[in-house]
């Protein structure tokens, strides 16, 4: 494939995935793998999983998986094309819906939609957290860390960064004192 053909394919693939990513980017990671590994044969399963693992330890929105695939395929140009193709369609839609939202704010229909959507949002967050906790489970210490971190937010309103650093420090101390094995 020529560079231009790759950039075109990146744009097409991620613009399409952008618009089916309902519920967030994690929901379409399997679809992304299917496109990139099975259909386009751009990389092996192992390479895709390695890129995914890297984005899991990267802070910020998990949409960076797209930037990384773009970078892998087409350097800086690939990164920009892939990221913009993934962001633009969904962002334009969000922009339009946001405008509509502020126009109808305060109306009866808006109140109804709000009262219905807010619990959906909260339910998806809690369920997402439970899923993440299951994925992060490596024995009792990880359960204690998850529970303590939950309480730190819920009861103390702690800044997330301190909770994160404390958790890492406790795990390192527990691991290197021989209390548990997390490696």
Site for another protein in 105-134 (CB under 8 A): 105-106, 110, 112-133
Q: How far apart are CA 44 and CA 123, in angstroms?
A: 35
Nearer to another protein, 5 or 120 (CB): 120
Report how many residues bind another protein under the rule CB under 8 A. Answer: 100
* Choices 5-13, 32-40, 41-49, 89-97; region in contact with another protein by CB under 8 A: 89-97
Nearest-approach distance from CB 118 to another protein, in angstroms: 4
Give the list of residues 6+ apart from residue 137 with CB closer than 8 angstroms, or none.
143
Nearest-approach distance from CB 33 to another protein, in angstroms: 14
Nearest-approach distance from CB 1 to another protein, in angstroms: 21
Member of 38, 39, 135, 177 binding another protein (CB under 8 A): 135
Q: Is 145 in the site for another protein (CB under 8 A)?
A: yes
Considering only residues 14 through 73, tell me which ones interact with another protein, judged by CB under 8 A. Answer: 18-27, 50-51, 54-64, 67-68, 71-72
Q: What are phi and psi of 151, to 5 degrees?
A: -65, -35
18, 22, 27, 79, 94 from 63: Cα distances, Å: 10, 13, 11, 12, 16
32, 48, 64, 86 from 4: Cα distances, Å: 21, 22, 22, 18
Nearer to another protein, 37 or 80 (CB): 80
61, 83, 100, 118, 122 from 96: Cα distances, Å: 21, 20, 6, 20, 23
């Amino acid at each position: 494939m020529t560079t231009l053909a790759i950039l075109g394919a990146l744009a097409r693939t991620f613009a399409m995935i952008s618009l089916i990513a309902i519920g967030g980017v994690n929901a379409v990671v399997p679809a992304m793998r299917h496109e990139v590994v099975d259909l386009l044969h751009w990389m092996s399963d192992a390479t895709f999983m390695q890129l995914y693992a890297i984005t899991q330890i990267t802070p910020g929105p998990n949409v960076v998986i797209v930037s990384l695939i773009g970078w892998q395929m087409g350097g800086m140009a690939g990164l920009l094309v892939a990221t913009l193709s993934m962001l633009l369609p969904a962002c334009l839609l969000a922009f339009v819906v946001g405008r509509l939202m502020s126009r109808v704010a305060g109306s009866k229909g808006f109140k109804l939609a709000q009262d219905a959507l807010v619990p959906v949002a909260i339910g998806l967050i809690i369920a997402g957290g439970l899923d993440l906790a299951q994925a992060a489970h490596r024995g009792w210490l990880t359960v204690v860390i998850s529970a303590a971190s939950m309480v730190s937010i819920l009861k103390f309103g702690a800044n997330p960064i301190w909770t994160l650093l404390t958790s890492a420090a406790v795990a390192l101390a527990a691991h290197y004192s021989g209390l548990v094995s997390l490696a």
